Structure 1
Amino acid sequence: MTTSEATMKGSEPANPSGALLRGLDVLQAFGPEKDALGNAEIAAATGLPKPTVSRLTRALVDAGYLDYDTERGKYRLRPRVLTLGFSLLNNMKILPIAHEQLQRLATASGCTVSLAWPDAPHMIYLDRCAGEAMPYFFSVGSVIDMARTATGHAYLAALDEASRADVMQLLAKDGGDDWRSVEAAIDVSVKEVADRGFCLVDTTWRRNIRGVAAPLVSRDGRTKLSINCVTTTFAMPAETLVTKWGPALVNTAQALSTHL
């Protein structure tokens, strides 16, 4: 049997890195509303052949990354998965410094203040500091939509035109029927960041959520993150968020940029 024939029948790829990437695909199939999945569900989510998924899930159980429920015939992530992410977090020297300043702003504003990393088409939270006005319903490692959040818009605004055009093409693929309005909103945010250092997204991502965000760019321009300040519509008017906490967010971003 040739390598291509084996691959077509769902056998493990000859290239070990291919098996590694497929294993990561399996782990990424799990999410907040997908905490328990069977092989068929994982195959549907990843596009991998069912025999390949079966081999990968067995290997991941043996390695301690998945747990298998024999009664339900489903898999769950095991806490060992956390070690992959926390190794990264522990090596990011800015996080302890950033956390103190983010928490200070969260306490003063009552908003939830966060630091996010780009992973188009998403933004990934590296830190979240809760205030009184905003429920703490996301945690470190959570992903949000880059195209529809102030956090994502602030990051996009930090890119040069060529780089932003490349990311926009990627976002457009999953843009949905409202992509034109989303694209227009991003253009507005880019202009807002250029004019005042931060942007506002009001009730676009979630109906009762509004937030401001500012890009966080290292001195050499190589690292681009974003920080946000988010609240509920009933807890704070948009004017207060824009006139008071938007400028404070920009000051925080500027202070942190020296540590990237």
Structure 2
Amino acid sequence: MDTESGKDRKFVEALARGLNILRVFGDGPVMMGNQELARLTGLPKPTVSRMTYTLTRLGYLNQHPDTDKYQLGSEVLSLGYTYVANLRVRQLAKPYMDEFAREYGMSVGLTCRDRMHMIYVENRMPPVKALLRVDLGLRLPLATTSAGRAFIAGHSAKGREQLQDELAAYYGAEKWQEKQPGLLDALAMYDREGFCLSLGEWDRNIVSAGVPIGLQDGTQMALTCAAPAYEIGVERLKHTIAPRLAGLAGDIQALGA
């Protein structure tokens, strides 16, 4: 660290700004202009204009000729698919996830963290029954879903505290006060039972269970199963399905992913 400026000399500020502009499209409208991007990122409009011009030239953004607004380009998609395709755990886990989905009639997903969200990088569905359609790339809130709670639960006490501090800053005091108790209950459940639940807290119609998965390269992920509440009773989820999901996570980790 640079002790005088408090900044990391190796940190490339311009690159970080460009990536932050791309990230804004994950939470905002599909198409945005420079003024809106400047407002959402807190960057000066001239800086945003240079960034969007460069990102457009590189194919990471496309500019609509009539409105001059931008949307994500194909190069962003290629980066995402390259990452997903190279995840060895996906290939190893698929047959096990398929078997679980068939046996319990639930969707089974692998998720990884993206800031204050979890993203599906794999999802397997039970045959015939399309109970809960989940597309790859779907983002789930970290604090209120079983995937996010399981991800946090897989960390040390210090890591859990740090993630909660990040969530508190993200939500603000009032909203965090509403969300933290459910997260703390889920972490306590993981310490007792080996899994986390989310019972309608993200979507009131959905119940789900989640467990952390640690890969050999140090990557932390979460395995989750979900279904409409009317299909899966809470007691069955808690006493039968969630413990089996924890066993599935152990099986996948044993494969050496």
Normalising to structure 1: TM-score of the pair?
A: 0.85
State whether residues 34 and 49 of structure 2, in contact with CA within 8 Å, keep that contact through their aligned partners in structure 1.
yes
Instruction: In structure 2, give the amino acid aligned to 1:84.
Output: L
State yes or no: 1:104 paired with 2:84.
no
> Who is 1:168 aligned against?
164
The Cα shift of 1:47 comes to 1.3
User: Hey, which bits of structure 1, 4+ residues long, moved more than 6 A?
Assistant: none
> Who is 1:217 aligned against?
214
How many correspondences in the alignment?
A: 244
**Which is worse superposed, 108-117 or 162-171?**
108-117
Per-residue deviation, residues 112-138 of structure 1 (Å, max 9, x unmatched): 2111112342222221223436321x4
Instruction: In structure 1, give the amino acid aligned to 2:153.
Output: A
Per-residue deviation, residues 127-163 of structure 1 (Å, max 9, x unmatched): 1223436321x42223211111111111221211111
Distance in 2, Cα, partners of 1:33 & 1:99 = 32
Q: Which runs of 5+ in 2 are unaligned?
A: 1-9
Of 16, 20, 35, which aligns to 1:21?
A: 16
> Who is 2:7 aligned against?
none
Distance in 1, Cα, partners of 2:171 & 2:56 = 36
> Who is 1:6 aligned against?
none
Of 162, 177, 180, which aligns to 1:180?
A: 177
Instruction: In structure 2, give the amino acid aligned to 1:147.
Output: A
The RMSD of aligned alpha carbons is 2.2
State yes or no: 1:202 paired with 2:199.
yes
State whether residues 121 and 136 of structure 2, in contact with CA within 8 Å, keep that contact through their aligned partners in structure 1.
yes
Distance in 2, Cα, partners of 1:60 & 1:209 = 38
Q: Give the % identical residues.
A: 30
Instruction: In structure 1, give the amino acid aligned to 2:19.
Output: L
- Cα 1:33–1:170 change in 2 (3 A) is closer
Instruction: In structure 2, give the amino acid aligned to 1:211.
Output: S
Distance in 2, Cα, partners of 1:224 & 1:25 = 23
State whether residues 111 and 133 of structure 1, in contact with CA within 8 Å, keep that contact through their aligned partners in structure 2.
no
Instruction: In structure 1, give the amino acid aligned to 2:41.
Output: T
> Who is 2:233 aligned against?
237
State yes or no: 1:139 paired with 2:116.
no
Of 125, 129, 135, which aligns to 1:130?
A: 125
> Who is 1:193 aligned against?
190
Distance in 1, Cα, partners of 2:216 & 2:57 = 44
Equivalent residue of 2:12, what SS?
Answer: helix
Normalising to structure 2: TM-score of the pair?
A: 0.86
